[in-house]
Amino acid sequence: MRLLQIDENNDFQCLADKPELMAQLISLTRALYQKVGYIPPWICYFAYDRKQCTGTCGFKYPPRENKVEIAYFTFPGFEGKGYASEMVKELIQLANSSDANITITARTLCEKNASTRILEKSGFQLIGEVNDEEDGIVWEWIF
């Protein structure tokens, strides 16, 4: 798997067959950059397996108090094939190669699901419930 940066200006055609989804993703990513800044490597990425764009992932913000939060999304048709696990692995490697002392977190719905299994399999531990400003009460995980 390789990650391709979603930068401030470039448009990508990895979802040429789903232009509405692509436009929405780029719009949301640009809005995020306006809110938290565009500070590589703490940005968003498209995930590629060979020549297929399988999903998107990234950091929700640059480090705050030596902590970052990761997020990932597998595109329809690619779920259940290990791509989300690979995205998490790549984000962990990217964070650790940028700052070996960084704390990596993730948040999920407060229920067992595919995302919680991915985090557990990747070495994350559930630390409890937190109130997320966007999503309400969620589970927080730490690597």
Summarised one tens digit per residue, pLDDT across range 38-74 is 999 999 998 989 888 899 999 999 999 999 999 999 9
Mean confidence (pLDDT) of the chain: 90
Q: How far is CA 111 from CA 14, 26, 95, in A?
A: 31, 29, 26
Q: How far apart are CA 29 and CA 24, in angstroms?
A: 9
Structural domains of the chain, with CATH = 2-142 (3.40.630.30)
